[in-house]
Structure 1
């Protein structure tokens, strides 16, 4: 990365008085992205960061010294400064390190400067060793947020958008703990098309039940803030990405790894079923990974509240993403009453994709359209793609993807299937789920007013997956 031309910088320091709109002396804020870093308001014109005690921000606390990258930090690793240039006031990061400073994953380069903008992420020594996120207080716009949320959280960059609203990264005030904050406009909570009926009270009832769920493989709901127009759901933040993206990057999982991850999925979904809750929108995008490691803790997410969107919108979602939907949903065009067996079918599709790298049904088949394939259970296991996969794994898929819901295997029975008779795998799963004790946490936490809940229908259509079956060779990865 080229060094910024020095002639752009005017002589003299920039004064706070030059920016009359600034409400306080702080012009920027650094939020910690790593446990060994602390939050910092930026009010001086320049700050130095590094391992040396003479730095404005020394990495000298016990947490920093114990970090695996500590010895890779330079005495002065980087500087942040605010300068008045010919094009206005800009904030610069200057890399002073031997092992690198990264902005949004890109190395700046020793002796080079780079302008940093609102929500940029700074990493040290390794691009995955994230240290800070920069917030430009002059451009941060949270004026539209209600006082109830601003008193407790600072909301920063948008993590995603969907049918029910957007998800933003949030930091709790005081501790700077990170969360994913789902923002849902109340007007979405309606049914009956033009004759909308407000369902806010019903929504809050459902959210409170979901908030009571406690399982290591289910995204936790930390807080719920209800305002007259908007519902804020503060969720546990998981940063390892989606299962779908991992399958795409790997082409497919090896069977032992797929078994470890899938075992966690079944345990989590069985827990939901034991509480009378049906997810109803299980798909690889809704399975999050805690880390980049292949063997990692999984988290089931997207209890999307879109159950409360009008039926017409929901059916459009069904039609847009039928790949993981059980046959009985398509047969009744989304208007029937379904059992928790629909989750078992979706899990079967997910396991198929993890092991083969492509979905079991294809919209490229010439002899049969996609809904007909699903409703009839027309999927196969071509030997060229399944020759290295065990008969037990294939048998479990068949039992999960049984068209007749009454004959479909339950998740309780799935856990006793021969494919899961693998004590080494179960020990790994226990260690991932309960790292402090290595043991089970015992019986499920009771949920008040146990009842049947259907959660989901998603945050909008999932990426289109192209594959093929008999007439066209299946691709090795689902394409987007």
Structure 2
């Protein structure tokens, strides 16, 4: 549970959890004791902790997990009522781990919940308030029934996702990317559920609203707030870029203020179009929002060279310009003109002339450099004098301004020395690939960029052109990690009642049509 018994595990860390479990041998037909390690969303096992090689492993990206505790009134899956069991299911294959005691069961339960899909959402959460809705789903504030902690919960209709392959891929992409990240300026995803009709994503609740609202209302108190905000944004970019991840849809609507009490504390959200740098050629080849797209992304779709993390820096530079001057330098009378201005990357001197501070001017020119080779990366931006000097007496355009941490723990076994790091040889790979046919090209394509209507207010899909799902294959993912170290709803419309309450009736049944 996400409460007193839940201390989420940082799956990107080199730390791990390992212990012995009892499992039923398919060959011997009897229970055997095996040694398991969970690290970086991969479950490894061997016959003993002293084994030289792992006997096999399971990638948990698209694995379902269920938990069974002793129940005097009802027998569990093994026909007994005195065992703590963790059941994993992937591609019709199942694995049942029998814990030796309740303490071990609860410790491992916390870790599996952070990286697997669960069932029976309604047993854990209740609705408090609806935030918005769209053609594919709804967003509401949900409260954990045990801890009373509130979260933002995205609920997607599976029927709609199955009919729109691109939206389905964006949802899965966001889940798999965010599960790898843990940073104070990036929206947190805590756990995911899937039922017969709906997929639920439990996320960090931030109540400050979109940055776009702040810009439109001109509510920045002083220049230092802009500096602090940009520093937090660049820190988030430096972090994801160090993981070889590109956001690819930076804009004010995807930057959320943590609270209404601060205009600079933000989180970066909406990773539906994000990509690993080595996956650019196989997913959303060209994506972003007109007015914020790096010029090399436009050229990439025309057959020119690829692009990298510096594409995000260009988008951040446009946001910086918007904060400093109140205007987007590429804004046209319509989207077509905005796209044309954006592609040409022709910024009129008028915009630069409004920036009187020379450090700010120098930084923004390096962020908006047309050639990526001339553009700063996130680290260079953060080292710029703009973030080192006091900005108390900076001149600003006249009339522009109007006056959860994840607890990281390792249980039961002390960290071993580096000699016991990942073995080089693995066998019995269990891979889980998503097979889905490409959907027909969605209407609304303008100059190779595709518009998707916002799914709901505050949580939007934007321009994209995509092909294959943005997830690393199991084998490639393992290589990268080695290198780094039901609901039974009568109808979906019943999800929200007339009083903005979510009505969820989950039963202990598997999803009849898995989205994964």
TM-score (normalised: structure 1): 0.50
- Which is bigger in relative contact order (C-alpha 8 A, separation at least 6)? 2
Computing the radius of gyration over CA atoms, which structure comes out larger, 1 or 2?
A: 1
- The two structures have a TM-score, normalised by structure 2, of 0.47
